[in-house]
C-alpha cells in the first residue's frame, strides 16, 4: 500500500487521538495492531483459490432433544448487540425501541423471552446488552420497567459499552477531523469489538467468576435468535469453543459474507470487503458458497478468555477495511477507511470451531422498513414464550417485499402509509410498491402485487 506518511508517524498520531478520547489501553493496543496488520498485509482480499466451498454441515433439526438443560442453562448468559440507532429509518433513538408486535418493541420481547425462560427452568439466566454511547440511555429506560427481572441478574450488569475508533484518511491513514460535526470523525470498530469490550470492562472475568461459562450472542434486531437448549447442550457436552449458526443463502443474501473452508479444512468467514472485484461473481454465487453467518454465535467463555490472554487480551481477528466517506451523507467529503473486525471471524482463531445449519426462521433481522412490514404483518406470530415465529398457516416461500424508499424508508412516512398497521400478507408472494400508496385497514394482499407510480398519492384498495 502506498502511503504519503510513514508508519512511525501514523501510529503515534493514532495513539494520541485515542488517548485524548479516553480510550482504554487495551483498545489503543488493539487498534494499533489492527492498523499494523492492515499496513503489513499484502492484500486485504481472501482469494478464491485459497478457499473451498463448505459442502456439508450438521443441521439443527437433526439434533436430539436436550437431556441436560438444567446442568448447562444456569451457566449460560444471553448477549444482545444493541449499539445501532435507527438513523437509516430517520430515527434518533435505539433501533430496538421500534414497535414490533402489538405494543412490544425489540427490547420488550427480548426481556420477556428471558423472563419466561427463567420461569420455565427456575434459574436465573443473565441477559446483557452491548450498547453504544447512543443507545445506553434508551436501554436503561426500558429496563426500568422490568423490576423483577433486574433483581434476578446475579450481580451481573445489564450492559457494557462498545468502543469507538477514528476514521482514517484513505491516503495518509491519519485520523480525520470533521469541523462541522466532530462525531463524524469516529466510527464503531465492527461487532468484533464485542471481545475487546467484554475483556476490557472486566465483564468476561466477572462472568466466569460467577460460574457463567457459555454465551449465546446475537443481534438485538434479530428476534428469530432465541436460546435453543439443543445447541447449548452440543456446545457444552462436546466442549466446542465457538459455534456459528449459518443458514442457506438466497439471492437477497448474495452480497453478504459467506462461510468457507481453508485448504487445511478450517472454517473461515469471508466478508464482501475481503473479496477482490474480479472474483465478485464467485463470491455472489449462492450455489457455490451456500451458507452465510446469521451472527447467532455460541461461545465457551473460559476458552475465549484463555485465547485472549495468550495474546495480551487481544483476539487476533482479520481486519476489514471498509471504504467510506467521512460524512456518509456527502460523497464529496473526505474518503476514509473504517477498519473493522467481524464477530463471526473469531471462528478462525479456534481450530475446533464449528458451524451449524439452522432454519431461516432463526434469522429475521430488521434492517429496513421492508423487513419491518413483514414482522408487523400476519406472516409472524408471537407465541406464549414471546418467540416471534413464522405463521404456520403460510405455505408459500419467503415473501419478497420492496417498498419505494422515497415514501417508506423513514419511519414517520412508513407509519403514515400504514395507519392501521400492516395488511394481511399471508397469501402474498411478492409485494413491490413503486409510488406513494396509503393502505386501508383490513387490506389483504395475495399472490404478486405490483403497484406502479402514478405520480400522485393513492389509496389501496382504490376508493370506489
CA dihedral sign of residues 426, 219, 269, 15: positive
Grid cell of 388 as nine digits: 416471534
What three-state secondary structure class fits 433? strand
Grid cell of 270 as nine digits: 469471508
What three-state secondary structure class fits 457? coil
What is the DSSP-derived secondary structure letter of residue 96? G
> Cα separation of 54 and 265, whole Å?
9
The residue annotated as part of the active site, out of 101, 302, 324, 367, is 367
Grid cell of 416 as nine digits: 403514515
Q: Are 400 and 429 a contacting pair, CB within 8 Å?
A: yes
- Cβ-based neighbour number of residue 327 at 10 Å: 16
Cβ-proximal residues to 432 (8 Å cutoff; 6+ apart), any chain: 400, 402, 449, 450, 451
Q: Are 272 and 283 a contacting pair, CB within 8 Å?
A: yes
How many secondary structure helices (H) and strands (E) does the chain include? 14, 24
What is the DSSP-derived secondary structure letter of residue 13? H
Is 367 annotated as catalytic? yes
Q: What backbone torsions phi and psi does residue 148 show, to the nearest 5 degrees?
A: -65, -40
Q: Are strands 335-340 and 267-270 parallel, antiparallel or unpaired?
A: unpaired
Q: Are 321 and 341 a contacting pair, CB within 8 Å?
A: no
Cβ-proximal residues to 411 (8 Å cutoff; 6+ apart), any chain: 86, 89, 90, 91, 98, 369
**Inter-axis angle of helices 193-200 and 25-40, to 10 degrees?**
150
Q: Are strands 320-325 and 291-300 parallel, antiparallel or unpaired?
A: unpaired
- Cβ-based neighbour number of residue 140 at 10 Å: 13
Q: Are 259 and 342 a contacting pair, CB within 8 Å?
A: no
- Cβ-based neighbour number of residue 5 at 10 Å: 13
Residues annotated as part of the active site = 367
Amino acid at each position: 500500500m502506498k502511503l504519503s506518511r510513514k508508519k512511525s508517524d501514523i501510529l503515534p498520531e493514532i495513539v494520541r487521538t485515542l488517548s485524548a478520547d479516553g480510550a482504554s489501553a487495551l483498545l489503543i493496543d488493539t487498534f494499533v495492531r489492527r492498523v499494523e496488520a492492515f499496513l503489513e498485509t499484502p492484500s486485504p482480499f481472501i482469494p478464491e483459490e485459497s478457499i473451498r466451498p463448505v459442502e456439508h454441515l450438521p443441521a439443527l433439526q437433526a439434533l436430539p432433544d436436550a437431556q441436560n438443560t438444567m446442568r448447562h442453562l444456569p451457566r449460560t448468559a444471553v448477549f444482545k448487540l444493541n449499539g445501532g440507532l435507527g438513523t437509516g429509518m430517520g430515527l434518533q433513538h435505539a433501533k430496538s425501541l421500534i414497535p414490533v408486535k402489538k405494543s412490544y418493541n425489540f427490547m420488550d420481547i427480548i426481556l420477556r423471552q428471558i423472563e419466561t425462560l427463567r420461569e420455565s427452568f427456575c434459574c436465573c439466566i443473565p441477559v446483557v446488552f452491548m450498547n453504544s454511547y447512543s443507545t445506553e440511555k434508551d436501554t436503561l429506560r426500558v429496563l426500568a420497567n422490568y423490576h423483577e427481572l433486574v433483581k434476578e441478574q446475579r450481580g451481573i450488569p445489564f450492559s457494557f459499552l462498545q468502543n469507538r475508533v477514528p476514521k482514517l484518511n484513505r491516503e495518509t491513514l491519519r485520523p480525520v477531523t470533521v469541523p462541522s460535526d466532530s462525531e463524524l470523525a469516529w466510527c464503531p470498530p465492527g461487532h468484533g469489538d464485542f471481545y475487546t469490550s467484554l475483556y476490557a470492562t472486566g465483564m468476561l472475568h466477572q462472568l466466569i467468576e460467577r460460574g457463567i461459562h457459555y454465551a449465546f450472542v446475537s443481534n438485538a434486531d434479530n428476534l428469530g435468535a432465541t436460546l435453543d437448549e439443543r445447541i447449548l447442550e452440543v456446545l457444552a457436552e462436546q466442549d466446542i469453543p465457538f459455534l456459528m449458526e449459518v443458514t442457506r443463502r438466497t439471492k437477497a443474501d448474495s452480497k453478504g459474507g459467506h462461510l468457507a473452508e481453508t485448504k487445511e479444512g478450517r472454517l473461515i468467514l469471508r466478508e464482501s470487503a475481503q473479496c477482490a472485484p474480479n472474483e465478485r461473481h464467485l463470491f455472489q454465487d449462492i450455489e457455490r458458497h451456500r451458507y452465510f453467518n446469521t451472527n447467532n454465535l455460541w461461545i465457551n467463555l473460559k476458552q475465549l478468555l484463555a485465547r485472549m490472554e495468550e495474546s495480551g487480551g487481544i483476539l487476533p481477528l482479520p481486519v476489514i477495511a471498509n471504504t467510506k466517506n467521512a460524512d456518509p451523507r456527502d460523497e464529496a467529503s473526505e474518503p476514509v477507511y473504517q477498519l473493522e473486525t467481524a464477530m463471526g471471524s473469531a471462528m478462525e482463531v479456534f481450530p475446533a470451531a464449528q458451524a451449524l445449519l439452522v432454519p431461516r426462521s432463526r434469522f429475521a433481522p430488521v434492517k429496513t422498513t421492508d423487513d419491518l412490514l413483514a414482522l408487523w404483518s400476519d406472516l409472524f406470530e408471537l407465541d406464549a414464550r414471546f418467540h416471534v415465529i413464522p405463521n404456520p398457516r403460510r405455505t408459500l416461500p419467503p415473501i419478497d417485499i420492496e417498498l419505494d424508499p422515497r415514501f417508506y424508508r423513514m419511519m414517520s412516512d412508513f407509519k403514515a402509509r400504514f395507519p392501521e398497521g400492516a395488511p394481511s400478507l399471508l397469501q402474498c408472494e411478492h409485494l413491490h410498491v413503486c409510488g406513494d400508496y396509503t393502505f386501508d385497514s383490513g387490506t389483504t394482499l395475495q399472490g404478486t402485487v405490483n403497484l406502479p407510480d402514478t405520480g400522485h398519492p393513492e389509496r389501496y384498495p382504490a376508493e370506489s
